């Protein structure tokens, strides 16, 4: 079994790591690394994909991965989507993408996790984060059992939730404005040019030249703004003084 993941601040990686267990029969692979290496062939019989949800839909990098990769050997496919509010359009998007490749997912899950969307979302206190992660652990245990037994189990998008939240129009705006997303990042006087943001960007989209400079290839994972040790990275005028988030149950160095 191979577990593919995309993770900005650790939530989806945490899930992937939990599913892998001791790793004896399950390998964990970063989707950015897979794409960056120019790979397209997935040679494993059993595949699990763990991804966050951005604007009620798949991150563009994960969508690109599904479109470009070949899954001809795949016999069992599971997709787990992590989100602050686990619903939207993303599971339907997953099904459409794989049906275009004549492949039907066996199991589909939404999993509630703490938000990292410091730009707009209400950030959780430590106790609330621990509560959400502990609840997620219990659900992950049930997912592992479904996947290990090769069973079918589908969660579904809620049309009512999508309607109330205007999910479709939000996704359309996100797709339209995606290329300009990183133009909102800036660094304030607290920046000491340590280079942590550059080193840890999964898509090599940051260059530190006295101050960080974003190159226009951002995938909106928000790792840079959340891991800056000085909280010097901001997004417009909406993030100054706001708490940051990184999954407390993993280390930054574990992420790719």
pLDDT in tens, 193-237: 999 999 999 999 999 999 999 999 999 999 999 999 999 999 999
Q: Is residue 172 part of a domain?
A: no
Range of the domain at 98: 2-163
My answer on whether 191 and 98 are in the same domain is no
My answer on whether 207 and 158 are in the same domain is no
Q: Above 80 in pLDDT, residue 159?
A: no
At residue 174, the pLDDT reads 84
Structure-model confidence comparison of residues 165 and 175, the more confident one:
175
Q: Is residue 11 part of a domain?
A: yes
Confidence of residue 24 (pLDDT cuts 50, 70, 90): low
My answer on whether 38 and 152 are in the same domain is yes
My answer on whether 159 and 198 are in the same domain is no
- State the CATH number of the domain containing residue 86: 3.40.50.360
At residue 162, the pLDDT reads 77
What would the mean pLDDT of 164-179 be, rounded to a whole number? 83
My answer on whether 23 and 88 are in the same domain is yes
My answer on whether 22 and 108 are in the same domain is yes
CA distance 213 to 181: 13
Highest mean pLDDT among 17-31, 163-177, 201-215: 201-215
Confidence of residue 26 (pLDDT cuts 50, 70, 90): confident
My answer on whether 87 and 128 are in the same domain is yes
Structural domains of the chain, count: 2
Please report the DSSP string for 192-256 in residue order.
----HHHHH-TT--EEEESEEEE-S------HHHHH-TT--EEETTS-TT------TTS-GGG--
Confidence of residue 161 (pLDDT cuts 50, 70, 90): confident
Classify the phi-psi angles of 233: left when phi > 0, otherwise alpha if psi is within -120 to 50, otherwise beta: beta
What would the mean pLDDT of 11-26 be, rounded to a whole number? 88
- Determine which of 20-34, 66-80, 120-134 has the lowest per-residue pLDDT on average: 20-34
Q: Is residue 168 part of a domain?
A: no
Confidence of residue 68 (pLDDT cuts 50, 70, 90): very high
- What is the residue-averaged pLDDT of the chain? 94
How wide is the angle at C-alpha 213 spanned by C-alphas 207 and 59, nearest 5°? Answer: 90
My answer on whether 11 and 94 are in the same domain is yes
My answer on whether 187 and 159 are in the same domain is no
Q: Is residue 94 part of a domain?
A: yes
My answer on whether 115 and 146 are in the same domain is yes
At residue 25, the pLDDT reads 64
Which helix (H) or strand (E) segment holds residue 128: the answer is helix 126-148
My answer on whether 15 and 132 are in the same domain is yes
My answer on whether 185 and 89 are in the same domain is no
CA distance 15 to 18: 5
pTM (global) more than 0.85: yes
- State the CATH number of the domain containing residue 201: 3.30.70.20
């Amino acid at each position: 079994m191979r577990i593919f993941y995309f993770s900005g601040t650790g939530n989806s990686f945490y899930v992937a790591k939990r599913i892998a267990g001791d790793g004896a029969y399950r390998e964990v692979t970063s989707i950015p690394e897979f794409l960056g290496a120019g790979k397209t062939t997935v040679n494993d019989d059993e595949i699990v994909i763990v991804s966050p949800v951005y604007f009620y839909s798949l991150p563009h990098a994960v969508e690109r991965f599904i479109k470009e990769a070949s899954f001809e050997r795949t016999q069992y496919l599971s997709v787990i989507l992590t989100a602050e509010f686990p619903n939207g359009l993303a599971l339907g998007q997953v099904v459409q993408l794989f049906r275009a490749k004549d492949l039907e997912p066996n199991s589909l899950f939404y999993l509630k996790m703490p938000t990292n969307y410091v730009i707009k979302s209400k950030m959780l206190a430590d106790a609330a984060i621990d509560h959400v992660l502990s609840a997620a652990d219990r659900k992950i245990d049930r997912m592992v059992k479904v996947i290990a037994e090769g069973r079918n189990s589908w969660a579904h998008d809620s049309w009512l939730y999508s309607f109330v939240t205007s999910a479709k129009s939000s996704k359309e705006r996100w797709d339209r404005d995606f290329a300009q997303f990183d133009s909102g990042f800036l660094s304030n006087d607290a920046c000491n040019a340590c280079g942590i943001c550059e080193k840890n960007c999964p898509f090599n989209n940051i260059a530190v030249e006295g101050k960080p400079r974003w190159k226009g290839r951002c995938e909106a994972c928000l790792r840079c703004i959340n891991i800056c040790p000085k909280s010097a990275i901001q997004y417009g005028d909406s993030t100054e003084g706001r708490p940051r988030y990184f999954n407390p149950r993993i280390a930054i160095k574990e992420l790719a």
